[in-house]
Amino acid sequence: MFKIFKKLSILKSPLSLGTFFILGVIFFCLYQEWLIVHVSFGTKAPLQKISKNFEKKNIGLHFWKDNTWQKEEIEILWSENKIETITHLVNRWLSVADEEEALPKKVMLQNISLSESQNNVYLSFDRYPFSKESSTYQKCMIIEGLLKTLKESSLKVLYVHFLVHHKPIQDYHLDFSHPWPLCGFTQ
């Protein structure tokens, strides 16, 4: 088998060996998804309009702690752009929930999107928001706190999709493959 490689004139120069080595490393990185290449030809995504009109608005943040509902009034920047407003609101909810230790670990909002109809919001987080020891009830109450906060803010959103790294949350107790209604599930 080595005789076959000797006969190939391409492999005789050290420069071509280095080239094949580098191509092999690049291919390996692409295969392991360590390197991601995004190529777009001629299609440009529409830029989101960043609004300049902000106003301060008082909102109640709801979260479940010590087996009772807690509510904290905060002031957020309210914008004409629904995505910006939801981003401010969810980020504040996450930071207050982290300060109050209502969440088992610090979770950050990675990205947010709205459906074309503006009725569904997609929240993508940087990590799984629950601990492995969390019961189904505790998970539901964490989700319900965020849903109550969004509902009280009167943003006219009907459903929320919960994602981690832009994929539905994988959980053994709760189904995140479908959107959660903003009206929640507790009375």
pLDDT at 42 over 70: no
Whether residue 44 lies inside any domain: the answer is: no
Whether residue 138 lies inside any domain: the answer is: yes
pLDDT at 13 over 90: no
The larger pLDDT score, comparing residue 126 to residue 154, is at 126
Domain range for 169: 54-181
Beta bridge pairs of residue 14: none
Whether residue 112 lies inside any domain: the answer is: yes
- CA-nearest of 69, 145, 75 to 107 is 145
**85 and 15 within one domain:** no
Whether residue 152 lies inside any domain: the answer is: yes
**151 and 66 within one domain:** yes
- pLDDT, position 14: 62
Whether residue 24 lies inside any domain: the answer is: yes
**72 and 110 within one domain:** yes
- pLDDT, position 91: 92
**158 and 124 within one domain:** yes
165 CA to centre of own chain: 5
Whether residue 170 lies inside any domain: the answer is: yes
What average pLDDT is seen over the chain?
Answer: 81
- pLDDT, position 164: 92
CA dist 118 and 125 (Å) reads 20
- pLDDT, position 17: 74
Whether residue 42 lies inside any domain: the answer is: no
**168 and 106 within one domain:** yes
**26 and 107 within one domain:** no
Q: Residue 63: pLDDT band by 50, 70, 90 thresholds? A: confident
CA dist 63 and 103 (Å) reads 9
The structural domain count of the chain equals 2
Query: What is the enclosing helix (H) or strand (E) of 65?
Result: strand 54-65
**152 and 85 within one domain:** yes
**67 and 25 within one domain:** no
pLDDT at 120 over 80: yes
pLDDT at 133 over 90: no
**155 and 69 within one domain:** yes
Q: Residue 50: pLDDT band by 50, 70, 90 thresholds? A: low
CA dist 128 and 83 (Å) reads 22
**151 and 59 within one domain:** yes
pLDDT at 127 over 80: yes
**177 and 100 within one domain:** yes
**145 and 80 within one domain:** yes
